[in-house]
Amino acid sequence: MSEVENLKVKRNLTALIEFSRVINSSLELEFILNNVLLTCLGKFLAIRGLVALKEGNHFQIKLSKGIPDEVLSIFPDVTADKDCEMKEELNSFFESAHLKICERISSSVGCIGFVCLGEKLNGKEYTDDDREFLKTILNIAATAIQNSLVVQELKKVNRELDSRIQRLNSLFELSKEFGLFSESTKVSRLLVYSLMGQFLVSNYAILNFEGSAIQVLESKFQIDELLSKLRKYDYLKIETPLNRTKLEKSYPELFEIGIQLIVPMQIQGKVKGLIILGKRVNNLDYSDYDIEFIYSVGSLAIISLENRRLFKEALEKQKLEEELEFAREIQQNLLPSQIPATNNFDIAAINLPSKQVGGDYFDIIKVDEGKYIIAIADVSGKGIPASLLMANMQAFLQVISKQNIDIATATGLINDLISQNTSDGRFITFFWALLDDNEKRLTYVNAGHNPPILVRNNEIIRFSEGGIILGVMKTLLPYNSNSIQLESGDKIIMFTDGVSEAMNPFSQEFSEERLEKIALSTSQLTSNETLKKIREEIEKFVEGAPQSDDLTMMIIRVR
């Protein structure tokens, strides 16, 4: 080797050592690539060049010198294999960019990119020695580039980890804040503020569903337009987040008004609301990680909203229960507290209200010495309206029974009064009678009530004479009455349909036939004993099944 060649080799070695020292002094990718490209351009007096690295399965130009932007813009999007094979598209680009030589950058994990250089200033071609020297430079640089890429990936992972920790902390804090608010508007406002701060959105809407009804909690979209377009789709079936691409394809009318993301709020798999977001101020798309966070915040919010709703319902239910209990107490006070003592009759009565406020009524009113009005009635329906009508009935009866009017005529008057006071289709089945203690006589009118049972000599007689039920229409046909001369041993059982229609778990009714059999089998028992026996048989029949109707009976045994 000549002295000149020795000197040249010595300079190259010195340059390579210095190059290695410089690029390994930093982990910044930009610094390393700049040194690699500038070193190559300077060494070979090239006027242009670029460095491209693999990102995923594609090449990305990371640095270029002397190549116009319009040329760089046509860099092909080709799949990068393990060996960085220069495909036809790449070679065409190199030709367009006037790049004469390309060499792969290979590290311990394989090819990670390539460097291309343009023509030399002196117009000479690249020699084999030039290519070998370029390979040497890139082999030295490969480790530094690989290390830099690993550090960059670690930094990216750390940033994502920090972001996840920050968002987890946000979710934790939001969960506490959501639990503090007692109004749904404050919950939705907090949800909006957290999303606006996190994603820089100015257009949003928070919707809450109650069945198919939509409650707009917050909206920066035009509400009428938003709802009209939303109703064109089966919005209750939006069970997964809809990003920009899905909206544009499957929900074009929503996309046209600027909606970029819809995230459902669900409880136990059921869609209870939607978070609707517009474009972000920084023009970034919502990433999968962003959508995951919004879904988590939305879940916290909808659970809080649902808890508020359930709490409100519980309060309203408790209040209603208190009112019903109060109504039940009033209703019970309208019933006679004591059964008057008579000479010839053994009388017992019972009213067992169901959980609801019902309309059963019975009464015993002394109208004269030895004469009593006995009555039993059942108002249709349940609740406060039925109890109020029952109270009306009691007031009418208390007044009319003192007027010394025969009960058939009086029944017509009561019917007219009840008809004037009912407007929602309610009615009353009513049986009443004048009981003469001195003559053992009963004169009755049955206005559509379950006919009471008279047990005489082991036979059943029903009291059916009367007329229509009360409250349906004014009295057009007079009510009929019937008078029965009672005998010792006779037993009368008056009852409401809560007795005959008591239901067992198999949806079977107790029935009047069962009641008649018990009436015959207990003909020798006192009124209280008979009452007790019927209750026992009903309780045995229903097997603990809850009853929806009051149970009312009055039993009269003739001494």
Secondary structure (DSSP) of 418-471: HHHT--SS--EEEEEEEEETTTTEEEEEEEBPPPPEEEETTEEEE---EESPBT
- Per residue in 346-371, pLDDT (tens digit) is 999 998 877 666 788 999 999 988 99
8 Å CB contact between 443 and 434: yes
Measured at the CA of 528, the angle between CA 526 and CA 533, to 5 degrees, comes to: 95
Retrieve residue 133's tokens.
């020297």
Lowest mean pLDDT among 242-256, 285-299, 381-395, 425-439: 381-395
Which residue shows structure tokens 């609740």?
383
Give the model's pLDDT for residue 181. Answer: 67
User: 391: which residues sit within 8 A by CB, 6+ positions away?
Assistant: 330, 331, 334
Most confident of 78-87, 127-136, 511-520: 511-520
How many Cβ atoms are within 10 Å of 90's Cβ, its own excluded? 21
pLDDT in tens, 97-133: 999 999 999 888 888 999 999 999 888 899 998 898 8
Q: Which residues contact residue 549 at a Cβ distance below 8 angstroms, ignoring those fewer than 6 apart?
A: 354, 358, 360, 496, 497, 498, 501, 502
- Is 70 exceeded by the pLDDT of residue 177? yes
pLDDT (tens digit per residue) in 20-45: 888 888 888 899 999 999 999 988 89
Q: What percent of the chain has pLDDT over 70?
A: 98
pLDDT digit string (tens) for 363-413? 999 998 899 999 999 988 777 778 888 888 888 898 898 888 999 999 999
The pLDDT, as a whole number, for residue 305 is: 83
Which span out of 169-183, 343-357, 520-534 was modeled with the highest average pLDDT? 520-534
Ordered alpha helix ranges (H), 45-127: 69-72, 88-96
Residue bearing tokens 């993301």: 261
Output the average pLDDT for the chain: 88
**Using one digit for the tens of pLDDT, what is the confidence trace for 8-21?**
777 778 877 888 88
By the 8 A CB rule, do 255 and 244 touch? yes
Can you name the residues that pair with 59 across neighbouring β-strands?
Answer: 54
Residues 6+ apart with CB under 8 A from 124: none
Distance of CA 289 to the CA centre of its chain: 24
Can you spell out the DSSP letters for 137-160?
HHHHHHHHHHHHHHHHHHHHHHHH
Average pLDDT over residues 330-339: 83
Give the pLDDT of residue 182: 66
Res 307 pLDDT > 80: yes
For residue range 545-559, list pLDDT tens digits in order.
877 788 899 999 999
Q: What is the largest CA-CA distance in the chain?
A: 157
- Residue 150 vs residues 28, 59, 109, 144, 147: alpha-carbon distances, Å: 11, 17, 12, 10, 5
